[in-house]
């Protein structure tokens, strides 16, 4: 009896330090993730009322206006409850959440953008969960990069549905990995439903998720036949769940294909009338160059045309790609590896506008984060293998310091933008016109339909009269003031005499008049 007790003590003594070490590592991981989430919150919510500022981009205003209509306009609802035909056609999921936020917290631009920022923080958590499937270190690095990425910070602070892509993209990949790890009807159905929601109810780049699933299955059929057979057994529950979850949006696509597919068709290289900023070869080179070299010139989702990844992180991502290729026979690594080229397709074939176009790359957000996490793991493992434990610890410190530096740099770059950098991008002149009209009840404004959405949203309960540029106002005396973005529009609406009396009422940061007004 006593001997047995004596034998048990050494084993317990030997195992106790290991148990304590594991608990400390788990606690450290929890604390690190908490710090990452805190950084994500700060970078997305700090000074949100003033930056981007009073101006609104039209797509933001469209989301807010539709949310207000759902709350206040009897009978107004999206087609099949999931699709808005306006603004080129849009999924309604984000607007539903915005409507809920408006109901709870108030109907303001700040709440609109705060909703987007909250989705951004949730996306960081989901990316961390996805990366955690490949190891704790990978998950932490993936989340840290997502939290401090200038690209994702910009997207998260604009009140548009684009912000929900990293969250739902990560959740769909998690569901697919769970199905691969635990094949069965339940996991197959969960994966099917998650794929449908992410692909059909979020934003254009994730519409290729079903293509990714098919390519992934064909790849596993070639390299891991037993795993493929396991997934094939769940194909019916997957398809059934996909069709059930996606039924409303599939109905939209069938009943109104021109509107549903219109946006993608108009911006693609397959549209002969598409207006691109370069020829196809340059477009492809610039898009691929976003990894360390080239940025997006659109100030809504980029700052100073900075690359999507700084060069050092692009190198880390390259190490991650090497790891994914080496492990390509594993179902999880294969899914992430295949997602990289699949989600590069939208920005490559959509040639309209600037290239690269960072919103069209958003399908890459979650898998790219995991790739960076795996690259960091490769770097640490290589350092430890060549130079020992202390070199590995130094490598860990280098990665941590580097990611923290990127986050600080991103925050400073975003928050230090001048008003001049934001004025035109976020239509501050339209905001000034709306404010002037609101200060003068009974006013009319001359503005294009897209820009008018800004004013219609902000002043939803007390809108001015709207007239399109070039329209003649037959009874101008009905309005206390008439304002426009230039005197030519006033001349067309009121005549040269009244336009000649107009005075500037708003100016850009360089002192140039941007809004003109007159009392007819």
Within a domain: 76:
yes
Q: What is the pLDDT of residue 217?
A: 97
Within a domain: 9:
no
How does residue 17 score in pLDDT terms, banded at 50, 70 and 90? low
Q: Quick one: 330 and 473 in the same domain?
A: no
Q: What is the pLDDT of residue 3?
A: 40
Q: What is the pLDDT of residue 280?
A: 86
Within a domain: 475:
yes
Is pLDDT of 458 > 60? yes
Within a domain: 89:
yes
Q: What is the pLDDT of residues 141-170, one digit of tens each?
A: 999 999 999 999 999 999 999 999 999 999
Contacts by residues 79-82 (CB-CB < 8 Å, ≥ 24 positions apart): 79/252, 79/255, 79/256, 80/248, 80/249, 80/251, 80/252, 80/255, 81/248, 82/201, 82/248, 82/249, 82/252
CB 484 within 8 A of CB 491: no
Within a domain: 157:
yes
Q: Quick one: 302 and 335 in the same domain?
A: yes
Q: Quick one: 342 and 446 in the same domain?
A: no
Residues with Cβ within 8 Å of residue 460, at least 6 apart in sequence: 65, 68, 72, 107
Q: Quick one: 380 and 448 in the same domain?
A: no
Q: What is the pLDDT of residue 9?
A: 44
How does residue 7 score in pLDDT terms, banded at 50, 70 and 90? very low
Within a domain: 26:
no
Domain boundary (420, 437, 465) is at 420
**How far apart, in whole angstroms, are the C-alpha atoms of residue 274 and residue 285?**
19
- For the beta carbon of residue 285, count every other beta carbon within 10 angstroms: 14
Is pLDDT of 87 > 90? no
Q: Quick one: 351 and 390 in the same domain?
A: yes
Is pLDDT of 2 > 70? no
Q: Quick one: 234 and 262 in the same domain?
A: yes
Is pLDDT of 102 > 90? yes
Is pLDDT of 269 > 80? no
Q: What is the pLDDT of residue 20?
A: 61
Is pLDDT of 465 > 70? yes
Sign of the C-alpha dihedral computed for residues 403, 407, 412 and 413 taken in this order:
positive
Using CA atoms, how far residue 36 sits from 139, 362, 374, 392, 401, in Å, is 11, 21, 18, 22, 13
Within a domain: 2:
no
Region 228-250 average pLDDT: 96
* Prediction pTM value: 0.92
Region 78-102 average pLDDT: 94
Exposure string for 119-134, b = 16+ CB within 10 A, e = fewer: bbbbbbbbbbbbbbbb
Domain extent at residue 453:
427-518
Backbone angles phi, psi at 289, to 5 degrees: -75, -5
Domain boundary (420, 445, 463) is at 420
Domain boundary (420, 439, 465) is at 420
Q: Quick one: 380 and 513 in the same domain?
A: no
Q: Quick one: 204 and 339 in the same domain?
A: yes
Q: Quick one: 331 and 440 in the same domain?
A: no
Is pLDDT of 307 > 80? yes
- Mapped onto helix, strand or coil, the DSSP state of residue 515 is strand
Q: Quick one: 376 and 438 in the same domain?
A: no
Q: What is the pLDDT of residue 11?
A: 44
Is pLDDT of 112 > 70? yes
- Among 2-11, 38-47, 114-123, the minimum mean pLDDT is found in 2-11
Q: Quick one: 48 and 192 in the same domain?
A: yes
Q: Domain total for the chain? A: 2
Region 71-76 average pLDDT: 95
**How far apart, in whole angstroms, are the C-alpha atoms of residue 165 and residue 163?**
6
Q: Quick one: 414 and 452 in the same domain?
A: no
From 19, 29, 23, 17, select the one nearest 135 (Cα to Cα): 29
Is pLDDT of 13 > 80? no
Higher pLDDT, 19 or 310: 310
Within a domain: 17:
no
Region 37-64 average pLDDT: 94
Region 469-495 average pLDDT: 94
H/E/C letters for each residue in 110-123?
Answer: HHHHHHHHHHHHHH
Region 344-352 average pLDDT: 90
How far from the centroid of its chain's Cα atoms is residue 414's Cα?
16
Q: What is the pLDDT of residues 162-201, one digit of tens each?
A: 999 999 999 999 999 999 999 999 999 999 999 999 999 9
How far from the centroid of its chain's Cα atoms is residue 286's Cα?
20
- Mapped onto helix, strand or coil, the DSSP state of residue 392 is helix
Residues with Cβ within 8 Å of residue 43, at least 6 apart in sequence: 147, 148, 153, 407, 410, 411, 414
What are 385's two structure tokens? 């293998």
Percent of the chain residues topping a pLDDT of 70: 96
Region 478-498 average pLDDT: 95
Q: What is the mean pLDDT of the chain?
A: 92
CB 264 within 8 A of CB 204: yes
CB 397 within 8 A of CB 167: no
**How far apart, in whole angstroms, are the C-alpha atoms of residue 224 and residue 162?**
35
**How far apart, in whole angstroms, are the C-alpha atoms of residue 154 and residue 143?**
16
H/E/C letters for each residue in 315-383?
Answer: HHHHHHHHHHHHCCCCHHHHHHHHHHHHHHHHHHHECEECCCCHHHHHHHHHHHHHHHHHHHHHHHHHH
Higher pLDDT, 510 or 19: 510
H/E/C letters for each residue in 401-459?
Answer: HHHHHHHHHHHHHHHCCCHHHHHCCCCHHHHHHHHHHHHCCCCEEECCHHHHHHHHHHC
- Mapped onto helix, strand or coil, the DSSP state of residue 220 is helix
Q: What is the pLDDT of residues 369-398, one digit of tens each?
A: 999 999 999 999 999 888 988 888 899 999
Is pLDDT of 22 > 90? no
Residues with Cβ within 8 Å of residue 408, at least 6 apart in sequence: 148
Is pLDDT of 457 > 80? yes
Is pLDDT of 275 > 80? no
How far from the centroid of its chain's Cα atoms is residue 17's Cα?
44
Q: What is the pLDDT of residue 18?
A: 60
The helix (run of H) or strand (run of E) holding residue 290 is none
Is pLDDT of 8 > 60? no
């Amino acid at each position: 009896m006593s001997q047995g007790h004596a034998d048990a003590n050494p084993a317990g003594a030997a195992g106790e330090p290991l148990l304590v070490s594991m608990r400390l590592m788990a606690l450290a991981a929890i604390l690190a993730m908490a710090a990452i989430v805190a950084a994500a919150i700060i970078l997305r919510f700090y000074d949100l009322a003033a930056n981007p500022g009073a101006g609104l981009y039209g797509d933001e205003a469209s989301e807010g206006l539709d949310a207000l209509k759902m709350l206040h306009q009897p009978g107004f609802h999206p087609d099949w409850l999931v699709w808005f035909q306006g603004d080129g056609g849009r999924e309604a999921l984000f607007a539903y959440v915005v409507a809920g936020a408006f109901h709870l917290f108030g109907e303001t631009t700040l709440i609109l953008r705060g909703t987007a920022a909250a989705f951004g923080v949730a996306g960081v958590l989901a990316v961390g969960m996805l990366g955690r499937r490949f190891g704790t270190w990978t998950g932490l690095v993936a989340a840290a990069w997502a939290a401090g990425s200038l690209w994702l910070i910009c997207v998260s602070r604009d009140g548009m549905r684009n912000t929900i892509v990293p969250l739902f993209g990560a959740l769909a990949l998690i569901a697919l990995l769970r199905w691969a790890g635990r094949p069965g009807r339940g996991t197959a159905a969960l994966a099917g439903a998650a794929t449908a929601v992410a692909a059909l109810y979020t934003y254009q780049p994730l519409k290729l998720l079903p293509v990714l699933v098919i390519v992934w299955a064909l790849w596993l059929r070639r390299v891991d036949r037993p795993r493929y057979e396991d997934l094939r057994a769940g194909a019916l529950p997957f398809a059934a769940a996909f069709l059930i979850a996606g039924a409303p949006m599939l109905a939209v696509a069938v009943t109104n294909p021109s509107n549903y597919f219109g946006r993608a068709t108009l911006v693609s290289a397959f549209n002969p009338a598409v207006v691109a900023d370069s020829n196809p070869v340059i477009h492809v080179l610039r898009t691929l160059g976003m990894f360390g070299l080239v940025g997006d010139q659109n100030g809504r989702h980029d700052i100073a045309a900075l690359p999507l990844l700084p060069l050092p992180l692009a190198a880390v991502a390259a190490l991650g790609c090497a790891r994914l290729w080496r492990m390509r026979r594993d179902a999880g690594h294969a899914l992430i590896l295949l997602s990289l080229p699949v989600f590069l397709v939208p920005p490559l074939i959509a040639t309209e506008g600037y290239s690269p176009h960072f919103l069209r790359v958003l399908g890459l957000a979650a898998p790219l984060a995991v790739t960076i996490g795996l690259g960091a793991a490769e770097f640490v493992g290589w350092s430890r293998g060549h130079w020992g434990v202390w070199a590995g610890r130094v490598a860990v410190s280098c990665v941590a310091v580097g990611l923290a530096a990127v986050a600080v740099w991103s925050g400073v770059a975003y928050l230090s933008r001048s008003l001049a950098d934001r004025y035109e991008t976020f239509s501050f002149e339209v905001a000034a016109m709306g404010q002037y009209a609101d200060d003068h009840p009974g006013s009319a404004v001359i503005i294009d339909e897209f820009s008018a959405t800004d004013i219609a949203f902000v002043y939803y309960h007390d809108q001015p009269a709207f007239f399109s540029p070039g329209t003649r106002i037959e009874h101008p005396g009905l309005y206390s003031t008439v304002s426009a973005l230039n005197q030519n529009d006033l001349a067309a609406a009121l005549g040269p005499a009244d336009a000649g009396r107009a005075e500037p009422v708003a100016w850009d940061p360089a002192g140039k008049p941007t809004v003109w007004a007159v009392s007819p």
